[in-house]
Amino acid sequence: MNRDLSSLSRAALEELLALGRLQRHALFEAIDDGFCIIQFIDGPHGPLSDYLHIEANSGYQRHTGIGDIVGKRLREIEPDNAQTWLDLYGKVLRTGETLRFEQEFQAVGRHIEVSATRLGPVEMGQVSVLFRDITARKRTEAALQENVQRLQLAMAAGAIIGTWVWDVPSDRFSIDEGFAAAFGFESARVQTGLTLPEVIERVHPDDRAGLMAAITAALSRGGAYAHQYRTRRRDGNYCWLEANGRVELTADGQPGSFPGVLIDIEGKRALEAERDRALAALRALNDTLEQRVEQRTAALLKAEDALRQAQKMEAVGQLTGGLAHDFNNILAGIGGSLELMKIRMAQGRMGDLERHVSGAQSAVRRAAALTQRLLAFSRRQTLDPKPSNLNRIVGGMQELICRSVGPSIAVETVATGSLWNTFVDIGQIENALLNLCLNARDAMSDGGKLTIATANRTLDQQAAASHGVAAGDYVALSVSDTGAGMTPEVLARAFEPFFTTKPAGQGTGLGLSMVYGFAGQSGGTVRIDSAPGRGATVSLLLPRHAGAAESDDTAPATPSAAPALWRKKILVVDDEPLVRLVAVEVLADLGYDVVEAEDGAGALVVLGAHPDIDLLVTDVGLPNGMNGRQLADAVRARCPDMPVLFVTGYAEHAVLNHGHLAPGTQVLTKPFTADGLDRRVRQLLGQLPGQDRAAP
């Protein structure tokens, strides 16, 4: 009966609508098939390029396996096959015609049978979908089709040798002559038929369990059946057969008729056996081949080791040859100067001594510089790192660099604003920068442009691995030139010690190797980018330092009023007698009271006899089981405020706690001058104001 809705109140209308929704929902849930309503929407792929599930019944999950479908988009659940569904349902939306089809739902691995209808006008963009899961039917059809194809192929090849029909309820096999021959039965059995135990008895004992399992599975499910096994023929020999058939179920789901055919697969199995033998032979060959490859690889690795050893020996030979050449020149200068001094003293010509002393001292400075470069290359030089800003260092050196490279080369600096600080030895970075600029000058014999640039760099894991450093923040300093560039061969050897492309006498070949070693010792690295005709760019990467840079505007320290030096007592410890003699005499000439020892144990004895010692000066590399650092710790255990000056021929970083020295300690590198020793002693004794800091 129609109702006059206009006379109802709003509450009554809402109640009526709610009742209608409940009835509609109950109707949807009563449908066994899956049901949903989809709403076409615009997506990233264009207008109406997606749709939304706005309503669905519980059958949706039963037929697809997907729960909570309401609110999900097509491209969310079926991204790889979305366009297929959009085309099908889009046609329904455009034409308004009901569409029935079968389609694979790839996301859930099922086939569904669909009936789709448009709801309302096309502007609403809605389509209702009624569907059911037909995956089982599709699989049965596919299996049947496969069997049909197998039978067709077998018939075409003349491989079908017999047929049967098994009436399962009565357990009687109706067979033909081919079946009887295949199972070794007399021809008379064609008329009388067989039972299942009789058939099984002629199957090879190893194949009976598998055959019974296959028959049982086929009887329980119905449909297609295929199985391979061996049967005994009339001549007593076993041969391979493949049985193909189909179990027809009765109305009550019980197995009824079971017809099928026998296919001779003896030839096929022989081919498979031959294939298996070939595969086994191939595997054996592969195993032998792998063994030969391993042997060959081992031989190659051995040859590579021998080559690397030969290259190492060549590098050592080149290194020692270069050292011998340079140090022989230096020793000749020192020895010659000393010889001339002896001769002039015997002649009473004292006025010539100053010139020869200056020559010997100059040779010593050259030897010290050469040693420092070698230590820098081997990352064992003594560093004095401080928080520094490379922009400030580059700016302070610009005038010196311009004078050094000459007027034919234009020098440009590109300083990055807000450059991060780095923790570096200022003297060494200045030396490295000057070396790189001089190398760039030498590469531009006809003039050119030299560019010094700074930058902040952050390296991720991949970039850091390619540079051979840890991931993190770095400060980059690069020097670029417009010179001739380097060939790949030169580039590969650029950091080798004593390798140089300059004419004899115009370079030691230690400049780049020194920069390389210094960068590595400072926790960074150095790279070269160059090609013939394209100039070269050498880039240093140094780790970022979070602290502030040291100010460089501190006024030079000046000695205070001369103290009463004779009240200051110094203990000098060194196992090298000549070095100890020089240090003792220099300090004594400066007015200090000096006592000495040759090792740590002797120094502790001297300290016990002289408790008023004001300063310990000790070599780092002491003999007899106690190094300089251990001696300093033992002395400070007795005298906590005792200042210590470490003297070293190279940087024993592990001994000196990797450069992190305690307050009141400093490092002096051999060879040292009398002025250098005097200045360090004054700093530690507080005679140069503001200079007592824990760095060399």
Query: The tokens of 636 are what?
Result: 């400070």
Distance CA 211, CA 217 (A): 10
What are the residue ranges of helices labelled H in 183-265? 189-192, 196-201, 205-221
Amino acid letter at 190?
V
C-alpha closest to that of 642 among 568, 581, 557, 585: 568
Distance CA 119, CA 24 (A): 15
Q: What is the pTM of this model?
A: 0.37
Q: What is the structure's pLDDT at 559?
A: 40
Phi, psi of 197 (to 5 degrees): -60, -35
Query: The tokens of 3 are what?
Result: 């109702």
The number of CA neighbours under 13 Å toward the Cβ of 483 is 25
The number of angstroms, rounded, from the C-alpha of 492 to the middle of its chain's C-alpha atoms is 24
CA angle 177, 179, 182 (to 5 degrees): 110
Low-confidence ranges of the chain (pLDDT < 50): 1, 156-158, 376, 378-380, 504-506, 552-566, 651, 653-655, 658, 690-696
Q: Which class in CATH covers the domain with range 12-133? A: alpha beta
Q: What is the structure's pLDDT at 35?
A: 92
307: left (phi over 0), alpha (psi -120 to 50) or beta: alpha
Distance CA 494, CA 496 (A): 6
Distance CA 481, CA 65 (A): 69
138-264 adopts what CATH topology? Beta-Lactamase (3.30.450)
Q: What is the structure's pLDDT at 9?
A: 64
Same fold for the domain at 12-133 and the one at 565-684? no
* Residue spans per domain, the chain: 12-133, 138-264, 381-545, 565-684
Distance CA 549, CA 424 (A): 10
The answer to whether residues 481 and 443 touch, using CB atoms and an 8 Å cutoff, is yes
- Residues 6+ positions from 585 with CB-CB distance below 8 Å: none
The number of CA neighbours under 13 Å toward the Cβ of 334 is 14
Distance CA 432, CA 425 (A): 11
Phi, psi of 554 (to 5 degrees): -70, 130
Residues 609-629 have pLDDT tens digits of 998 999 999 988 888 888 888
Contacts 24+ apart (CB under 8 A), 44-49: 45/75, 48/86, 48/90, 48/125, 49/86
CATH number for the domain formed by residue range(s) 565-684: 3.40.50.2300
H or E stretch including 488?
Answer: helix 488-492
CATH number for the domain formed by residue range(s) 381-545: 3.30.565.10
Residues 133-164 have pLDDT tens digits of 999 888 877 776 666 566 555 554 446 888 99
Residues 323/326/332/334 CA torsion (nearest 10 deg): -90
Q: What is the structure's pLDDT at 565?
A: 44
Distance CA 664, CA 695 (A): 9
Tell whether omega for the bond before 387 is within 30 degrees of 0, i.e. cis: no
Place of tokens 């080369």: 409
What are the residue ranges of helices labelled H in 348-418? 353-377, 390-405
What are the residue ranges of helices labelled H in 202-265? 205-221
Dihedral sign, CA of 524, 529, 530, 536? negative
Rg (CA), the chain: 48
499: left (phi over 0), alpha (psi -120 to 50) or beta: beta
Dihedral sign, CA of 652, 654, 658, 664? negative
Dihedral sign, CA of 150, 156, 157, 159? positive
